[in-house]
Chain A
Amino acid sequence: MAAVLETQDLEKHFGGIAAVNGVSLRLEQGARHALIGPNGAGKTTVINLLTGVLRPSSGRILLEGRDITAVEAYQRVRLGLARTFQINQLFLDLTPLESVGLAIAERMGAGAQWWRLVGTNPAVIEEIVEILERFHLVDVMHERTGHLPYGKQRLLEIALAIACRPRVLLLDEPAAGVPDDERHEILATVAALPADVTVLLIEHDMDIVFSFADRISVLVNGALFLDGAPDEVARDPRVKAVYLGESLDA
């Protein structure tokens, strides 16, 4: 199978510290890939490198065979690489309706239009509604995002990424901090993501990882420790030693 997203010897140094050290990841088309590892292993740094928020010290990133190492963050989104954030990064003054509409308009290349009024394109409106329904945001679509309950904000995090219609979606702890009773709503939407979208999930919760992923990479101290199918990873005693010891304090 073809690799949709691939990194080759990715490294990122902050001063003398190697936060990411020679990571070569490979995401297959349509994969449900999880990236796990103890706190401080460099998972979010990997995401930031993949999305272009940070520039790698060395190594290459390939999206569908194309070298995107030097491509700006916003252009990577247009090439089909979208992400969510571990800590909400939302437009607090906009409504979910406006936020999702904005993302769709950008994807359609209409974002720089300054003469046409927002909401005059029927195709955009239908897609807004479709996404808001899928993420259970219709009843709060006119509220200011900053006033939404946390669970709804987490849903909007994912909705915004989906509105970019990505081919590769990077989910950075989608259910982080969500109370148990709202958790299932988020996990259900994650499970229901389109099958042709390749997903890289970063997650601490092992129940989520093992119910979701068909492949797991373990990151320890910035380096890939193990890469394999879930049962392989679950069986490996070293992973337990490295991971479970650390995660008790998480």
Chain B
Amino acid sequence: MPSTAVEEVARRLAKRARWHPLEYAFWLAALASVFLLPGRHLILTEIAWLGLFALSLDLILGYAGIISLGHAAFFGFGSYVAALLAKYAIINEPVLALVVAGLAAAVLGFATSFLVLRGSDLTRLMVTLGVALIMREIANQIPDVTGGADGLQGVVIAPVLGLFPFDIFGHVSYVYCLCVLFVLFLLARRVVYSPFGLSLRAVKGNPLRAASVGISVNARLVAVYTFAAFYAGVAGGLLAQTTAFASLDVLSFERSADLLLVLIIGGTGYLYGGLIGAVIFKLMQDWIANLTPQYWQFWIGLVLVLIVLVGRDRISLMTGGLRLVGERIARRWKPAPPAYSAPLAGEGRPGEGG
């Protein structure tokens, strides 16, 4: 019954990329927040660009296994590019400027990707950290361009698409960030379920074997690192555009480290980790800062320790792994095994012919 198996395989492969009900729920909730939480749009804006930034890190860490402590390099670069484009009225329209900011970050990502091809996690941590430190110091040394330690003043952002001017309540900012996040999320989702995305997981799982089935490991890593840098650049551009400001802390070490924290809170390798992590991180920061402003770092540290002790597996079980549990339960309750059984060669197990 080979046709049965072909159908089964086609069905299972098609199912991989199908939208889960929880995904619809997530994006409906995001849409609902636009209308139901108008007073919270400023923090929601921050959550949206932070989520996009964390999604960028997830693409390289969760899918390709590249750990980075310097992802702010691309975020900050995109941020300055977007701010400068607006300040000097080179590109006024924010969406177009945002794309250019992302592309600029992608060029930087491509150029530095060759540094993370080889070596252990530790090497990669140090190299990415080093690149971000260099970027920050360059920005610090050219105050004529970047504004140095004072930040880039006098940035005026034109209305989005020439129609929607930014307001002080963050209404336009939030809708703008959410739209960008959603579009780039759809793109990322498409990519991770493509043959390219599958090959990334193979490279992450076993680079030796990946090369042995004909995968050019280095080319794939360069591609995903560049792609992720684009996302980080766009996230940085969103920050610059929604605050009409860029300063050295867009390139800071703390930003890279916080990002890793955000992603680990949410879990890696299923795309929603960065988004959920951003929601939790920002809300916690906001909540704790209201209670005890001076102890913020203490609480976030405690949470981090707890997460690592409890284990990533259990965290992802609570967030992304529910589906797996559901499947397992469903399988157990299913009365009979699938109708198809393998036709075995003559000497195979008796009683199980094709």
A: residues with CB less than 8 A from B are: 51, 53, 72-75, 77-78, 82-83, 85, 89-94, 97-99, 101-103, 105-107, 110-120, 122, 125-126, 128-130, 132-133, 136-139, 141-142, 160-161, 163-164, 184-185, 188-189, 192
4 more A-B contacts (CB under 8 A) besides A91-B202, A119-B13? A85-B208, A90-B209, A117-B17, A118-B13
Complex partner residue of A164 from B2, B195, B213, B216, CB under 8 angstroms = B213
Assess whether B205 is interfacial by the CB under 8 Å rule.
yes
* CB contact under 8 A between A142 and B195, given known A133-B2, A133-B5: no
Q: How far is the CB of B12 from chain A (nearest CB, A)?
A: 6
Q: How far is the CB of B216 from chain A (nearest CB, A)?
A: 5
Cβ of A97 and Cβ of B12 under 8 Å apart?
A: yes
> Which of chain B's residues have a CB closer than 8 A to the CB of A139?
341-342
Assess whether B199 is interfacial by the CB under 8 Å rule.
yes
Determine, out of B121-129, B168-176, B344-352, the stretch whose residues face the partner at the interface: B344-352
> Which of chain A's residues have a CB closer than 8 A to the CB of B190?
114-115, 117
B: residues with CB less than 8 A from A are: 2, 5-6, 9-10, 12-14, 16-17, 190-191, 193-199, 201-202, 205-206, 208-217, 219-220, 223, 340-345, 347-348
Cβ of B212 and Cβ of A51 under 8 Å apart?
A: yes
24 contacts between A and B (CB under 8 A): A74-B210, A74-B211, A74-B216, A77-B211, A78-B214, A85-B208, A89-B206, A91-B205, A91-B209, A97-B12, A112-B196, A113-B195, A113-B196, A117-B14, A118-B197, A119-B9, A125-B6, A128-B9, A130-B2, A138-B341, A138-B342, A139-B341, A188-B345, A188-B347
Cβ of A118 and Cβ of B202 under 8 Å apart?
A: no
Cβ of A73 and Cβ of B211 under 8 Å apart?
A: yes
Main secondary structure of the interface of B (DSSP, over half): helix
Cβ of B212 and Cβ of A93 under 8 Å apart?
A: no
Complex partner residue of B213 from A142, A163, A189, CB under 8 angstroms = A163
Question: In whole angstroms, what is the CA distance A103 to B210 when docked?
Answer: 9
Cβ of A116 and Cβ of B208 under 8 Å apart?
A: no
Complex partner residue of B10 from A119, A137, A188, A189, CB under 8 angstroms = A119
